[in-house]
Structure 1
Amino acid sequence: MKVFAFVFARGGSKGLPGKNIRPLGGVPLIAHSIRLAAELSTVLKTYVSTDSEEIAAVAKSYGAEVIMRPEHLATDFASEWHAWQHAIAFLHERGEQFDVFLSLPATSPLRAREDIENCLTALDDTSDVVITVTPASRSPYFNMVTRKANGDTHIAISGASITRRQDAPEVFDLTTVAYLARPKFILESAGIFDGRVKSVIVPKSRAVDIDDELDFAFAEALYKGKQ
């Protein structure tokens, strides 16, 4: 398989300004994804899609090629799926064809090489997409609720009476550790769950998704412990 890796990193981040190039363990956050891609023998090229010249400069310094993203795909309301489609179409227009699209978000710097290798193994002829998940700490069948403005509260998923967590169906949180897909599927579809989706389970210690200051502090503590 001809695998191209991608990191999608906007310049604007309200939850944690400048997070994509903020140092974690002395290394810019985005560089953790670029470095891991370089360790994978199946990955032939690594691209960073961004609207930021500053992020682009950091990406190039760590060996990634850069795809400058149009402004309309870099707003708070823009769908990353559309950024995926733009990156693939951009490369196809340059005559670059590949078999597997691998997204390695900068916000999951604690992922391991084996997580990605497991995803590559899972992407077979029966699947369009492979995502990563981690065991959820709460369940919509048991201890997650919906709440109305007047305070009325109900269990998120009602039905059979479940009074013990052990009786609830096993559920998982989606993670940003990795996404794999066929480029053709991305170009022709409106979202991940339009296709046949498989998942790979990642332990919580490697599935931290950095969105705000607290997430970063938690990731930093785990990273230091790992080192």
Structure 2
Amino acid sequence: MSAKRRHDDNEADGAVSSNKKQKRQEAATSNMKQKKRQVAATSNMKQKKRQAAASSDMKQKKRHVAATSNMKQKKRQVAATSNMKQKKRHVAATSNMKQKTRHVAALILARGGSKGIPLKNIKPLAGVPLIGWALRAAVDSEVFDSVWVSTDHAEIKKVAEAWGAQVHQRSPEVSRDSTSSLETIQEFLEYHNEVDIVCNIQATSPCLHPFDVREALKKITEDGYDSVFSVVRRHQFRWKEVDELSDEKTKALNLDPANRPRRQDWPGELCENGSFYFTTKDLIKTGQLQGGKSIYYEMLPEFSVDIDGDIDWPVAEQRVLRYGYPGKVVRLLFCNVSACLAEGINALSSNTRNTSAIHMLQEKQVEVMLLTSRNNTVAQSLADKLKKRTGCEVREVGKKPLNDLLEVMKKRSLDWKDVAFMGFDQADEKLLKLAGLSAVPGDAPELASKAAKYICHLSRGSGAVWDFAEHILLHKPMAKP
């Protein structure tokens, strides 16, 4: 091979070698770039992860801060709520303290003079003195610090005291026909400055119940009113009164005659029913019974009976027997056998009507205890016969049986309001006054009759026990104080 050819071959080999070298360099450069990109990508990935982690930490920290903030806020809310409750309890305690220190008195005005019916306020209505119905509701409401009757008459005084009231002897100046209720109440407050709230209860409202009195008083003691008075809803269309001799025409006062509503579509009007008027002493001093911050208390129509003018006496008796408040439910009846029966113990053991009355009471879970005198030898000899026939416990008592009865009541955990007593004569006077419900036969002496809370229509030996038992049972389901 010639030198030239070898030279050419060498150059060709050199070129090939140079190309290969260049390709290797390019490949190396490419690999280097790829590695750099991978490194950069890896670096970016790590950076993103670090950023993500940092962001996650930041979010977590924010959530933690938010949670902490919420927790603090909740704690503040709880603390605020606690403080609010504490303040309310403090206000309520303060209110209760003020309420406890305010003397609330019930006051019934009962003058002796009556143009219509003499001594109407103590005339028996369904066996109970008229004033007794209102006094019973006032006493049993248990919201009054004192219960008073303002009167100028000795007989009314005796009846009021028998029904648990204190008596204010009113002066002649406020006992005239022209004297207003406001003047009489103002005089009462002059003598009884400890009273802060007066509830003037009308003696002529025999269907008043303790529940209404309690609810009305809350409007003053809890809601802050100065005066509260009782009303009833009436559905009566009123017309203007005109002189028949004039040319004036009457016109409707509370309806449109052209669009006369049905009763059920008309709410009616609120009218005073006269049952009671609650007023603060401060308002009375200004010469008002209704005023200041004033509100009414609505009573049901059946309990809004006014003896002054609504109905006559026989009709009133029927209403009272149905809707009047009879007192708390009797759980035990003490019956003085010898006093209540003209023929004594023999009459009770042999008279079917009397024994039936006792059995009726027993069936209604009213225990009956028959009282006999230790000095009555005949009664003692028949005690076993009486116990067998009536199923009652027969108990001997002395001339002053109060201690004997108190012992019985203590064993049964009873109060006088849970007890009825039936007596007859002067020896029974104290027990007749103490018992929540008491009665005497129709022929009982005057002194005992005035002390009793119910006077039977029948006399001794003629069914007086039956009469009183019926009176107890007639009202027993209604007693809702």
Q: TM-score under structure 1 normalisation?
A: 0.85
- State the partner residue of 1:181: 279
Greater strand share, 1 or 2? 1
The separation in 1 between residues aligned to 2:228 and 2:236, in whole angstroms, is: 23
- State the partner residue of 2:410: none
Name which of 141, 148, 151 aligns with 1:40.
141
- Displacement, 1:122? 1.9
- State the partner residue of 2:308: 211
- State the partner residue of 2:251: 155
- State the partner residue of 1:59: 160
Residue type at the aligned position of 2:171: P
Greater helix share, 1 or 2? 2
- Displacement, 1:9? 0.6
- State the partner residue of 1:90: 191
The separation in 1 between residues aligned to 2:279 and 2:130, in whole angstroms, is: 24
Is 1:164 the equivalent of 2:260? yes
Residue type at the aligned position of 1:135: R
- The SS at the match of 1:192 is coil
- Is the Cα contact below 8 Å between 1:104 and 1:179 reproduced in 2? yes
Over residues 1-50 of structure 1, what are the superposed CA-to-partner deviations in whole Å (9 max), with x where a residue is unaligned?
33111110111111333210011221111112222221122212111101
The separation in 2 between residues aligned to 1:101 and 1:173, in whole angstroms, is: 21
The separation in 1 between residues aligned to 2:255 and 2:268, in whole angstroms, is: 16
- State the partner residue of 1:50: 151
- The SS at the match of 2:259 is coil
- The SS at the match of 2:308 is coil
The separation in 1 between residues aligned to 2:234 and 2:177, in whole angstroms, is: 27
Unaligned runs of 5+ in 1: none
Change (3 A) 1:8 1:162: farther
- Is the Cα contact below 8 Å between 1:16 and 1:211 reproduced in 2? no
- Displacement, 1:180? 0.7
Residue type at the aligned position of 2:160: A
- The SS at the match of 1:122 is helix
Over residues 33-82 of structure 1, what are the superposed CA-to-partner deviations in whole Å (9 max), with x where a residue is unaligned?
22222112221211110111111121112221111112231222111111
Over residues 131-168 of structure 1, what are the superposed CA-to-partner deviations in whole Å (9 max), with x where a residue is unaligned?
000012314xxx32222252534236389777324687
Give the aligned length: 219
- State the partner residue of 1:10: 111
Counting only pairs closer than 5 Å after superposition, residues 102-141 of structure 1 correspond to structure 2 as 102-123=199-220, 124=222, 126-139=224-237
- Is the Cα contact below 8 Å between 2:228 and 2:290 reproduced in 1? no
Residue type at the aligned position of 1:43: F
Q: TM-score under structure 2 normalisation?
A: 0.42
- Is the Cα contact below 8 Å between 1:15 and 1:212 reproduced in 2? no
Is 1:145 the equivalent of 2:240? yes
- The SS at the match of 1:46 is strand
- The SS at the match of 2:192 is helix
Change (3 A) 1:159 1:207: closer
- Is the Cα contact below 8 Å between 1:129 and 1:197 reproduced in 2? yes
Residue type at the aligned position of 2:173: H
- Is the Cα contact below 8 Å between 2:106 and 2:200 reproduced in 1? yes
- The SS at the match of 1:175 is strand
Once structures 1 and 2 are overlaid, which stretch shifts more, 209-218 or 46-55?
209-218
- Displacement, 1:219? 2.2
Residue type at the aligned position of 1:118: E
Residue type at the aligned position of 1:157: L
- State the partner residue of 1:77: 178
Runs of 4+ displaced beyond 4 Å: 158-162, 166-169
- Displacement, 1:85? 0.8
- Is the Cα contact below 8 Å between 1:9 and 1:20 reproduced in 2? yes
Unaligned runs of 5+ in 2: 1-98, 324-474, 476-481
- Is the Cα contact below 8 Å between 1:128 and 1:185 reproduced in 2? yes
- Is the Cα contact below 8 Å between 1:9 and 1:48 reproduced in 2? yes
Counting only pairs closer than 5 Å after superposition, residues 187-226 of structure 1 correspond to structure 2 as 187-189=285-287, 191-212=288-309, 214-226=311-323
Instruction: Indicate the percent of aligned positions where both proteins have the same amino acid.
Output: 28
- State the partner residue of 1:25: 126
Change (3 A) 1:6 1:158: closer
- Is the Cα contact below 8 Å between 2:236 and 2:268 reproduced in 1? no
- The SS at the match of 1:195 is coil
The separation in 2 between residues aligned to 1:33 and 1:169, in whole angstroms, is: 29
- The SS at the match of 2:202 is coil
Over residues 77-121 of structure 1, what are the superposed CA-to-partner deviations in whole Å (9 max), with x where a residue is unaligned?
1111111111111112xxxx1332112211001111111112012
Over residues 164-213 of structure 1, what are the superposed CA-to-partner deviations in whole Å (9 max), with x where a residue is unaligned?
24687741220122111111211222x33443321111111101011159
